[in-house]
Structure 1
Amino acid sequence: MQGPTFGIRDIPFSYRGSWFDISPVIAEKTHADDLHLVSHQTGMHPVLRFVPLHGDARAETRIVATPSLLAWHHENHHIELTYQDADTIRVRGNGLGLRIDVVAGALTPFSGSYLYRDPVDGAYVLTSYETGRRYRITVLAGTSAAAGIEALGPRDRHLTVAGDAWELAIEEYDAGRSPFVAALTFDQAAAGTARQFGAFVDSVAPWRAAETPAAELAAYVLWSATVEPAGFLGRPGVLMSKHWMDKVWSWDHCFNALALAAGDPALAWDQFQLPFDHQDPTGALPDSVAHSEVLYNFVKPPIHGWALSRLRAQLPLGDDQLVQVYDRLAAWTRFWLDRRRVPGHDLPHYQHGNDSGWDNATTFDGDRVIETADLAAYLILQLAELRTLAAELGRPDEARQWGHERETVRKAMLGTLWQGSRFVARTAGTGRLRASGSLLDLMPIVLGADLPPDIGAELAAGIERHLTEHGLATEPVDSPDYAADGYWRGPIWAPPTVLIEDGLRRAGLIDLADTISQRFRALCERSGFAENFDATTGAGLRDRAYTWTASSYLILAAAHQRRSAQPVEA
């Protein structure tokens, strides 16, 4: 299986489990002329630069990427690169040479890279202060020459390989490793990678068809962004991207878990649980988890009860798993009820837009410590899931308590924040009410049929006002606050699309749900899997290989295919 081709400037070339990729993207919104080996251990760090050579000059090449093979083409000559495994790539050339530059050239006691030649096996070894890892280059065929061997200070450090047919292996590892032995040929390594990806896409998207043309590429974005346990990630993790968004945020992971659930249940469960591994003593989840940092300065919205109810419909969970997830979800919910409610208030509050996941939405343009209807709706769903779990686990008293809390929050949301035709936000400290034009204010549609029908109809009408030909704008395009690349002040995002589509469908508003699903799927098929999209042009914005976008496409496409396969009632 060769798989789809993709633009290397948009989607990095990588491999399931690997902590590095091959890409020209070397920093946020920064593209280099040449491809780099970019590591995501201790942050995002370009380590090696690959410069194709024709004779002694840089060759202008056409780059073609598929899930198993990356190639530079120049006239009738080429260089090819494939992964052998998660920490080893194989590179070979025919008619072109390759210069491999060390990116961090200035070596100091606290930064840079040191290049030496191992006297044991003759391999070139680079130690990187930035990543804390070593990179070994073993020349398997052809001739090589190096500069900067054992040099200190600011020096040019590079390796050049040439010959009619040359080949090398590059490994990322910790302190020591046995000399490299080519147990597989290059072609065998490439074929093995193709088989592994083929098995993955067959498992997570067996339903794919001509009507879902982006399914394989969406699966590749997920597969290639997966890393092995390392650092603060104690489980296999799907990063949001192997560009600069190389973390797991504590609501993004829910969408990846849902997309993986049917085809790779173990990986799906790891995604759901990963932030909970870092739950603090108050029950709060971290804002994000990366290889070398866990941030607690913000939280993310409690959509986890909504996600868990959907996961449990697909995952075979044992009793121990149910007990663990119940305890964790209960602690997360108590954080909101105990730590984020003003005394005397029944509604919890966000302390900043970042807590909501909608960082700069216009809902937060006035006061930022506010009680909002989206937060209340998520907790209503989460409390319902806890009530169900407690009953299943034989804890009737806890089930009754969760049910009581649910009714308390629901009553307060409808009685305080619903103002006749819309939901508003309330300042936690002063009680001031404020309306905005943000789609965030319409998110209580996630309650589906649990909303009074008249409120559901009003929310649906509001949602339609946000709907462009490409999907749901987070701020109406005719709003004075709309910004085409304004993050949560205009662009289309995947998470609200999935949440709203699901809520509308459960509310019985099927036509609008179908329209939203169709437009978002078409948007991804046309513009890829960007972090967000321009609401008027459909162009991809920001990070172009974002896993929650790919997962959202897979979630919506799989559901569409299931509905299409159902017989039509007479």
Structure 2
Amino acid sequence: MFDIRKIPFSRYGSFITISPNHQEGAGGPLYIRNIRNGDNDFGEVFRLDLIWQGQTLSYKPVLEPSVLRLESSEGFAEFCITEERVLQIRSNRVGVRLTGITGAYDYAVKVEENRWEVNHSMQEMRYMLTTLKGRIVMDAPFIEQRCEKIIADLLPADSEEEMECVIEEFTTVYQPRSYLSFAQGRTRVSEDFQAWYEKTLETPEEYSQGKNLAAYITWSCVVPPEGILLRPAMYMSKNWMTNIWSWDHCFNAMALAKNSPELAWDQFMIFFDLQDTSGTLPDFVNNRFALWNFTKPPIHGWTVRRLWEQSSYVSTEKLEEVYEPLTRWTKWWLTYQDDDQDGIPQYNHGNDSGWDNSTIFHKGTPVESPDLSSFLVLQMEVLSEIAEKLGREDEARRWKQESEELLTRMIEHFWDGERFTAKKSGTHEVIESDSLVLYIPVVLGKRLPAEILEKLLAGIKRKGFLTDYGLATELPSSAFYKDDGYWRGPIWAPTTMLIVDGLLSAGEREPALEIARKFCEMANTSGMAENYNALNGEGLRDPAFTWTSSVFLMLGHLIKSN
């Protein structure tokens, strides 16, 4: 069972979600939501209440993967998303009140005795309410262009105790149909989740609580192909981070690669489906639109290597599919993100790095940062390997040479003898920063000289980044450190994964496993939060995040395998 106050109720392949609006506080009501419109719109369609003899009741929510149950002193109601567009409700001894969260032009119209249509123009969706048992009492007075309110009471029939109702989404014309019973639908959803769970990466038994939660979050956050999404897509969350960002998707893809390789490939390719002719990728995407004001770091070469290492699904045909897009993505950084033409690419905003407010940006931009060059060194190396697999030997040699040359320039440019630094592009002024981002070059592993690797590892461990819970993103002794400072302190899953992977590739197995264990123990206790307080392990921000879940599963699987 999960806490609906933190974990939204939804299912694989559906945009229907039930959760509270966190801006209203922990004790706020639950809403049926439509999460199609990105994170600028919470998507409330109906507020949920239990009613008895015309009065609303307090209730206790109980959330399982297949059903949400609201228990009151007078009876209970249960909700199950039995199909992608179908929410079924049943109650015993109590009724369910749906209060429409409406705007201009929204209305309700009676279709037949047991059926009402609610046209929710604000959400650009229609809803057909159909009773299978019981009755609908609708309060929806129409004034001029809309109903001034829409309140639907779903009630047991007179002298009966049970009610069953279906809410189905549709966009143009409703097609009359029959529905499974609530019990049949719930069984089907339970089987669907169980099949997903069985494909979820194995973790140590002591992490079973975390695995259950991570499996549910990743399963329930997948939405179907719709609009500009051409593939099934795992959103970052169905709380309020209802988009996919262009490095988050890589971690979700890697966690799926071993046991669900086709879905993993879909996650990886989502952004390349939308790639601009210049080569850049959007910052984020949902079914409605993509944002092009920013982008995210080029970890995609690093990712695709891990996909093919885990599954034969990434065939020569798949590598052919990704080779040109990955080439354009790499060239975009080298061509358009190097204003001073020194051969070292730059970030023009913190958002482009993924470390939105890192202290390497506290003096403004553009900033040349060693993590970016590190990712591109790896990406060009991977392009070389793909080119070789495709029989493009000249291109393979050229990419290998460019990778090695960038590595040399990067070390000469950023290494000061003790650590990597970040610099302002153009002036090359060193930016004083105690950000963990300056240690991300460890992802290069043994490509770095042994002396540099040794000092990077010492810096991570002895300087204080590694707390009892994991890797702080800003040194806790820094003047800029904040417990809930986003990229100025909290522990994040992706940075943990990158550093653990780098340590493993450098042959530093024990430090890698130590960091992995700290992270997994924290997430197993505190849940799959967006990030965590580095000093006490408390979950921060969005409490139901998929890339956290995916990294937890990958690191847990690493621990079990070692």
User: Could you say which residue in structure 1 is the equivalent of 2:71?
Assistant: 73
For structure 1, the 5+ residue unaligned runs are 564-570
Deviation by residue 1:55-78 (Cα, 9 ceiling, x = unmatched): 222111111000011101113621
**Count of matched residue positions in the alignment of Structure 1 and Structure 2:** 551
- Indicate yes or no: 2:36 matched with 1:37: no
Equivalent residues of 2:141, 2:149 under 8 A apart: no
Distance 1:75 1:504 in 2: 55
SS in 2 for 1:99: strand
User: Could you say which residue in structure 2 is the equivalent of 1:51?
Assistant: 49
- Indicate yes or no: 2:264 matched with 1:278: no
Deviation by residue 1:105-133 (Cα, 9 ceiling, x = unmatched): x434xxxx2111114x7411111222211
User: Could you say which residue in structure 1 is the equivalent of 2:286?
Assistant: 290
Higher mean displacement: 331-340 or 247-256:
331-340
Distance 2:101 2:547 in 1: 31
Equivalent residues of 2:50, 2:96 under 8 A apart: yes
Distance 1:146 1:208 in 2: 52
Distance 2:388 2:484 in 1: 46
Distance 2:263 2:374 in 1: 28
Task: Show the 5 A alignment for 1:125-204.
Answer: 125-148=117-140, 150-151=142-143, 152-153=145-146, 155-163=148-156, 164-182=161-179, 184-204=180-200
User: Could you say which residue in structure 2 is the equivalent of 1:362?
Assistant: 359
SS in 2 for 1:11: coil
Equivalent residues of 1:466, 1:476 under 8 A apart: yes
Aligned partner letter, 1:65? L
Q: State the 1:497 CA deviation.
A: 0.4
Task: Show the 5 A alignment for 1:206-217.
Answer: 206=202, 209-217=205-213
User: Could you say which residue in structure 2 is the equivalent of 1:441?
Assistant: 438
Q: 1:489 to 1:207 in 2, by over 3 A?
A: closer
Distance 1:29 1:268 in 2: 36
Aligned partner letter, 1:6? F
User: Could you say which residue in structure 1 is the equivalent of 2:492?
Assistant: 493
Q: State the 1:408 CA deviation.
A: 1.6
User: Could you say which residue in structure 2 is the equivalent of 1:460?
Assistant: 457
User: Could you say which residue in structure 2 is the equivalent of 1:305?
Assistant: 301
Distance 2:181 2:134 in 1: 15
Q: State the 1:320 CA deviation.
A: 2.5
Distance 2:204 2:260 in 1: 16
Distance 1:295 1:557 in 2: 33
Q: State the 1:29 CA deviation.
A: 7.5
Equivalent residues of 1:492, 1:534 under 8 A apart: yes
Distance 1:28 1:556 in 2: 32
Match of 1:103 among 101, 104, 119: 101
Q: State the 1:476 CA deviation.
A: 1.5
Q: State the 1:344 CA deviation.
A: 3.8
- Indicate yes or no: 2:245 matched with 1:249: yes
Equivalent residues of 2:207, 2:521 under 8 A apart: no
Scaled by the length of structure 1, what TM-score is found? 0.94
Aligned partner letter, 1:415? E
User: Could you say which residue in structure 1 is the equivalent of 2:310?
Assistant: 314
SS in 2 for 1:550: helix
Distance 1:462 1:532 in 2: 22
Match of 2:398 among 398, 401, 405: 401
Identity %: 38
Deviation by residue 1:254-304 (Cα, 9 ceiling, x = unmatched): 000011111211111000000111111111111111121111111100011
User: Could you say which residue in structure 2 is the equivalent of 1:62?
Assistant: 60
Q: State the 1:99 CA deviation.
A: 0.8
SS in 2 for 1:466: coil
Q: State the 1:83 CA deviation.
A: 1.6
Task: Show the 5 A alignment for 1:331-480.
Answer: 331-464=328-461, 465-480=464-479
Equivalent residues of 1:351, 1:369 under 8 A apart: yes
Match of 2:88 among 83, 90, 102: 90
Match of 1:123 among 115, 119, 135: 115
Scaled by the length of structure 2, what TM-score is found? 0.95
For structure 2, the 5+ residue unaligned runs are none
Distance 2:395 2:432 in 1: 36
Higher mean displacement: 462-471 or 520-529:
462-471
Q: State the 1:449 CA deviation.
A: 1.4
